[in-house]
Amino acid sequence: MESKFEHQLVLWPADDLNLRLQRVRRLMSEAGLDAVLLSDNTNAFYITGRVIRGYIYIENSGRTLFFVRRPSGLLGDNIHQIRKPEDITAILGNTAARTIGLELDSLAYSMVERLRKVFPDSEIGNASPVMRGARAVKTPLEIYLITESGVKQTEAYRHIPHLYQEGMTDIEFQIEIERELRLGGCLGQFRVTGDDMEIYMGNVLTGDNADAPSPYDFAMGGAGASPSLPVGADGTIIRPNAVVMVDVNGNFNGYMTDMTRCYSAGEPSAEAVKANELSRKICHAVADAAVAGAAASDLYKMAVAMADEAGMAQYFMGHRYQAGFIGHGLGITINEAPVLAPRSRDVLEAGNVIAVEPKFVIPGVGAVGVENTFVVQPSGPAKCLTLAPEEIVNLQ
Amino acid sequence: MESKFEHQLVLWPADDLNLRLQRVRRLMSEAGLDAVLLSDNTNAFYITGRVIRGYIYIENSGRTLFFVRRPSGLLGDNIHQIRKPEDITAILGNTAARTIGLELDSLAYSMVERLRKVFPDSEIGNASPVMRGARAVKTPLEIYLITESGVKQTEAYRHIPHLYQEGMTDIEFQIEIERELRLGGCLGQFRVTGDDMEIYMGNVLTGDNADAPSPYDFAMGGAGASPSLPVGADGTIIRPNAVVMVDVNGNFNGYMTDMTRCYSAGEPSAEAVKANELSRKICHAVADAAVAGAAASDLYKMAVAMADEAGMAQYFMGHRYQAGFIGHGLGITINEAPVLAPRSRDVLEAGNVIAVEPKFVIPGVGAVGVENTFVVQPSGPAKCLTLAPEEIVNLQ
């Protein structure tokens, strides 16, 4: 697999990299930052196409420098091999920017204090909102990669009905789904923004477990297999005719799609079918309204109004605990901007990629509903990238 | 699965919790902290036995208070349901400690600045070294849980030889191993200390891929399946007679063991067998020397000296890139104290749990060696918790 390509530090084509840097620089200007220093794995991947240990220094009007700790021997322009962040001081000399943004929302406090000393004459600002904003609008290559993940996730989901065997627990079913996705090229890893979120590969919910509250900010809960990872499948046996909600990992290339589908071990109940149809209706109505310029909070309100009108408000986005959003941006991580929530100030732009997940948790039925990933278009409705059949699929 | 037990916030028995709190408080005294405020998932799990969204406030001489955001409805003493960290100010009133430690090595800078305002009259210190020190010496229950993970991981590893089929790639082999471990109760999740480390389930290496450098601080590298997760298996076909190193997840209950074993698709070469035997010899010599009071740096030097004496120094802990340690503490995360490295200042104590992994990467042979997890005893050699056969197992 060795090739010259592999040794290039920046794996993105120059045009696509330039689009990313242009967005970053425009938002740097708005934030009053003369430079940003990035080291987060997600931001390193965003800029270079690979994870490195080191720092990417982007001047607003000028250079993009790469201070690489590991691996060594990468090729490209402006690469400086360093052993520790303090080596940056000597390399920049008196050219360090006046105001430098660090990733204050993700970098540990101690690390920020250490980096502050690397730039003794600079003022430190926050690069996190800049990068969050830049990454919210995807480049053509990012949309290509997300589309590819959607195709592969859709293909893997088509095999899910064949994986069920009578008497399985939710965990056993999930394990076969994990294997199927992995064989289809899924990397498994679920990148999230923020330290508080943890999950392994995905969430499979059936029965009353769907209503078990979780400490995490995912749309759905579940007790999980252990109090050390309290989310998702908990060992519940999948009962005859019970609905099973499957929401598992769509990371096939570092960019993710998010798709939820429901299955049932036999004929689903009329109540489950009705809730699933309502979820589909809301999901696609939101996508139709997700035009450039739409307020994310309006999309949230529209979804809640539709659930309310159908008399299903008390089951919408959970029952014992209700999530405070119906959709979220995604890309390198599963929770990017924009957020479809009541107090969101986000306004949709062409190139936003959003997952819309208007789900229900109904006592005696469980979790029901669909989730799809959409790209916001320059005009017209958002385009769906997750194309597995949306009906509740009979597993028998 | 609902029980009263499930609703208790603190799942550890009182005696074991008290041992944990005693250690934390002793180290708080040494660090000059009057209280610590913990919110990291790993520290929340350490104190309560579950992951919660919220804050645990431990006074050095006094109360342990739980400020819980999610889930609601947990039972126990001193629980305050809060909506946001700012609610803590009113609850503590004028009883806030003078010096309060926050997790400065893991909490994001912005979050520390936000929490600083929750305690306007307190001085902020660093709770991270305190928690790292406390967690380095395991309680009896922690050792029980790590032992349990070791038993289950050992059982799952016994099935590995049956999972191989001729012509498999390293990734395909890994996927079957993942499934086997998951069916045996493995939670999958690999908790690490520090944002920089990423891995999915484990590392399976064969052939020259073992020598591909990784940006991560794991002992072994590998190119990985994607530059977005550059570690481990990369799709290399497992060649006849080639060695395959398997180092996969031992997290069965929130506490981990770490075990590496080698397999070969046919008779392993004499060179591979010799390196594996040397690795075993070093591993157990280090464990025999890992007595309470031993300097971690001496254990490192001893391992390097043994590799050197055998003429294998240039292959020890990697070839193109050599890792700077031969072992590490583990428990809730895979990289805790003590660290067996040349400049480590750690001194071993009874109750330390360490993984010892003296591995080789030999061009033309690949990665070879064993890794075991040991508990340091009050006297005598450390006790091994990972008991799968250590010979290179023939997969055919």
The whole-number average pLDDT for the span A124-137 is 98
The whole-number average pLDDT for the span A277-300 is 98
The whole-number average pLDDT for the span B287-316 is 98
Interface test with A, best of B124, B226, B343 (most A CBs within 10 A): B226
Q: What is the pLDDT of residues B344-373, one digit of tens each?
A: 999 999 999 999 999 999 999 999 999 999
Position A340 pLDDT exceeds 80: yes
Q: Are B106 and A200 in contact (CB < 8 Å)? A: no
**What is the model's pLDDT at position A6?**
74
Position B312 pLDDT exceeds 70: yes
**Which A residues 97-126 touch B at CB under 8 Å?**
102, 104-112, 126
Position A324 pLDDT exceeds 70: yes
**What is the model's pLDDT at position A63?**
96
The whole-number average pLDDT for the span B161-169 is 97
3-state SS, chain A, equals CCCHHHHECCCCCHHHHHHHHHHHHHHHHHHCCCEEEECCHHHHHHHHCCCCEEEEEEECCCCEEEEEEECCCCECCCEEECCCCCHHHHHHHHHCCCEEEECCCCCEHHHHHHHHHHCCCCEEEECHHHHHHHHHECCHHHHHHHHHHHHHHHHHHHCHHHHCCCCCEHHHHHHHHHHHHHHCCCCCCCCCCCCCCCCCCEEEEEHHHHHCCCCCCCCCCCCCCCCCCCCCCCCCECCCCCEEEEEECEECCCCEECCEEEEECCCCCHHHHHHHHHHHHHHHHHHHHCCCCCEHHHHHHHHHHHHHHCCCHHHECCCCCCCCCCEEECCCCCCEEEEECCCCCCECCCCEEEEECCCEEECCCEEECCEEEEECCCCCCCEECCCCCCCCEECC
Nearest-by-Cβ selection for B189 from A69, A198, A227: A198
Q: What is the pLDDT of residues B228-256, one digit of tens each?
A: 999 999 999 999 999 999 999 999 999 99
Q: Are B53 and A215 in contact (CB < 8 Å)? A: yes
The whole-number average pLDDT for the span A170-176 is 98
For A112, the closest chain B residue by CA position comes to B109
Confidence band (pLDDT; 50, 70, 90) for A78?
very high
Residues on chain A touching B49 (C-beta within 8 angstroms): 227-228
Position A3 pLDDT exceeds 90: no
Position B4 pLDDT exceeds 80: no
Q: Are B108 and A110 in contact (CB < 8 Å)? A: no
The whole-number average pLDDT for the span A55-63 is 96
- The percent of residues above 70 in pLDDT, for chain B, comes to 99
Helix axis angle for B140-158 and B14-31, nearest 10°, is 110
Q: Would you tell me how many other CB atoms lie within 10 Å of the CB of residue A268?
A: 23
Q: Are B104 and A109 in contact (CB < 8 Å)? A: yes
Q: What is the pLDDT of residues B54-93, one digit of tens each?
A: 999 999 999 999 999 999 999 999 999 999 999 999 999 9
Residues on chain A touching B363 (C-beta within 8 angstroms): none
Q: Are A172 and B187 in contact (CB < 8 Å)? A: no
**What is the model's pLDDT at position A5?**
59
Q: What is the mean pLDDT of chain B?
A: 96
Confidence band (pLDDT; 50, 70, 90) for B195?
confident
**What is the model's pLDDT at position B8?**
94
**What is the model's pLDDT at position B2?**
46
Residues on chain A touching B178 (C-beta within 8 angstroms): 178-179, 182
Confidence band (pLDDT; 50, 70, 90) for B276?
very high
- The percent of residues above 70 in pLDDT, for chain A, comes to 99
Q: What is the mean pLDDT of chain A?
A: 96
Q: Are B228 and A45 in contact (CB < 8 Å)? A: yes
Position A2 pLDDT exceeds 60: no
The whole-number average pLDDT for the span B102-129 is 97
Q: Are A189 and B229 in contact (CB < 8 Å)? A: yes
Position B3 pLDDT exceeds 80: no
In total, the C-beta contacts within 8 angstroms joining chain A to chain B are 178
**Which B residues 23-52 touch A at CB under 8 Å?**
40-41, 45, 49-52
Residues on chain A touching B107 (C-beta within 8 angstroms): 108-109, 195
**What is the model's pLDDT at position B1?**
43
**What is the model's pLDDT at position B5?**
59
**Which B residues 159-218 touch A at CB under 8 Å?**
171-172, 175-176, 178-179, 182-183, 185, 187-189, 191, 195-196, 198, 200-201, 213-217
The whole-number average pLDDT for the span A50-76 is 96
**What is the model's pLDDT at position A31?**
98
Position A258 pLDDT exceeds 90: yes
